[in-house]
Structure 1
Amino acid sequence: MKASRTLLAAALVSTLLIAACGKREEAPAAAAPAPAAPTKIVVGLDDNFPPMGFRDEKGVLVGFDIDLAREAAKRLGADVEFKPIDWNAKEAELSGKRVDVLWNGLTITEPRKEKIAFTAPYLENRQIVVVAASSPIKSKADLAGKVVGVQEGSSAVEAIEKDAAGKSLKQLKKFGDNVTALMDLAAGRLDALVVDEVVGRYYTAKKPGEYAVLDEHFGTEEYGVGVRKDDAALLGKLQQAMDGMKKDGAAARISTQWFGKDIVK
């Protein structure tokens, strides 16, 4: 009887030892490595969009957004390349990975948010109406039956089309860039031009007395930097850089250089 008890106790101990050996702790899963910082950022832009991005008299790319992008890239320790693109095909250029970023007065709109991930807005803008100084057009209602110019692929197209005044136009004439549109306005081939305020004010200020800007406009909007929707790592790093630029005054300094005051949000 005693031997049986001894054998039973030994069997129980063996069972417990086997169970303990079988219950090995699993090694904790290795943490996912942090995304590597980009070494180069390719910025897609319309190089005829002053003062955001354009070529100076020497053919060098300059502008407000150019300076912002350079400062952000420097803070990320990355090289930056500016690549002029067909602005009407900007979403295809981005999704096709021919550029990494769209940074050139890019308006945040709901349709664009379906294809593009945006940073927080950094600038507020309006779609203004520019006419010749001698024009009888004084309000949006006066645009009825008129030929109005706009840059193809710009947010101005959507702003006009969803406004009641846009439905009364004789023609909405689309141009590859605003410079050509302004030339047509000066030549009398357009009755008015709807354009981003930062661009329109820049041009009209260079030729005082030649143009007028209506008090009414086609809505207020915001600019953001756009990246591919699956590139959350780059989006986060750009946002961090831009937040730092706002906090330490670098963004205000760049804005003052181009606009005479800090207009960064």
Structure 2
Amino acid sequence: MKNKFFMLMFVLVIGVLAACGAKDDKASDKNSNAGEGSEQKQVLKVGTSSDYAPFEYVDAAKSEDIIGFDIDLIKLVGEKIGAEVQVQDIDFNSLVPALQAGKVDIVISGMSPNEEREQVVDFSDKYNQTEQVFIVKKDSGIKKEADLAGKKIGVQNASIQETLGNKIAKEVDASVEGRTRIPEIVQDMMSKRLDAGIVESGVAKGYLDTNDKLEAFPVKEQPEDFKAIAVQKGSDLKDKINKALKELAAEGKIQKLEEKWLKVK
């Protein structure tokens, strides 16, 4: 009798365990299928150099976040292509190497395509065009390019302004000194270690608005200077970004960003 009772209990236990196992397998399959059916949002690592107001900069009085025209634009592009954007602050002359090394997926930093850069990275369609200017101290006596003879011109390393500065320096017998970030150029001008700096008009405006000792005048021969977004060579992001830029332009959203960040008020 005991043996029969034991066998009956044994069969019941086996049955319960089998049922639980089947239930767990179904739950596992369900979770597995749910994972296969859901797509994780793409994360785009974006490199920028936060010393280029109003395109990208940090307003330290308000927060440590990088803000500006380029930052707002790349966030809109990210929304268009269904990607989350993560911005990294990198020195300007290290942006292209970072992109080549795969440390970032995209570079947006007021960057202009040139022959050297186009050999190693691809660029999107242009999204902004600008004018180059000299910034000088009002008491410097420098009113035109000829007045730069024998003077020191500050430029940002690896920028279009560096190429432009070297060309002008040969014409007027001046010298060119590179700096890592734009604020260093302004600081060295104020301390008389530099006599002038070359920046684009939108950037100059920010400094002129906050420093009444500075003034600006345009470069005599303007180079073609437009901004574009850089991606790795052969990346399919280029077509996605171009499509997003066209849609944003058609919707008037790029114009709204220009009015917000770049227009003189």
Is 1:80 the equivalent of 2:75? no
Is 1:55 the equivalent of 2:58? yes
* TM-aligned CA deviation for residue 217 of structure 1: 4.2
Q: For 1:81-114, what per-residue CA distance to the aligned partner results, in whole angstroms no more than 9, with x for missing partners? A: 0011121122210110001111010012122111
Which residue of 2 is the match for residue 148 of structure 1?
153
* TM-aligned CA deviation for residue 116 of structure 1: 1.7
CA contact (8 A) 2:166 2:176 kept: no
CA contact (8 A) 2:51 2:181 kept: yes
Instruction: Give the Cα separation in 2 of the matches to 1:213 and 1:37.
Output: 49
Which residue of 2 is the match for residue 20 of structure 1?
none
CA contact (8 A) 1:126 1:217 kept: no
1:238 maps to amino acid:
I
The equivalent position to 1:124 in structure 2, one of 126, 129, 138, is: 129
Identical counterparts, % of pairs:
25
Alpha carbons of structure 1 residues 218 and 42: separation in structure 2 relative to 1, 3 Å: farther
Which residue of 1 is the match for residue 217 of structure 2?
214
Q: For 1:23-72, what per-residue CA distance to the aligned partner results, in whole angstroms no more than 9, with x for missing partners? A: xxxxxxxxxxxxx9971111111012111111122111100000000011
Instruction: Give the Cα separation in 1 of the matches to 2:108 and 2:156.
Output: 17
CA contact (8 A) 2:148 2:172 kept: no
* Normalised TM-score (structure 2): 0.79
* Normalised TM-score (structure 1): 0.79
Which residue of 2 is the match for residue 71 of structure 1?
76
* TM-aligned CA deviation for residue 247 of structure 1: 0.2
Higher helix share: 2
Is 1:175 the equivalent of 2:179? yes
CA contact (8 A) 1:160 1:166 kept: no
CA contact (8 A) 1:159 1:218 kept: no
Q: Which segment is superposed worse, 233-242 or 215-224?
A: 215-224
Alpha carbons of structure 1 residues 182 and 166: separation in structure 2 relative to 1, 3 Å: farther
The equivalent position to 2:100 in structure 1, one of 95, 98, 107, is: 95
What residue ranges of structure 1 are gaps of 5+ in the alignment?
Answer: 1-35
**Corresponding residue SS for 2:113:** coil
1:210 maps to amino acid:
K
Tell me which stretches of 4 or more aligned residues in structure 1 moved more than 4 Å.
Answer: 164-167
**Corresponding residue SS for 1:162:** helix
Is 1:42 the equivalent of 2:48? no
Alpha carbons of structure 1 residues 217 and 183: separation in structure 2 relative to 1, 3 Å: farther
Instruction: Give the Cα separation in 2 of the matches to 1:226 and 1:69.
Output: 12
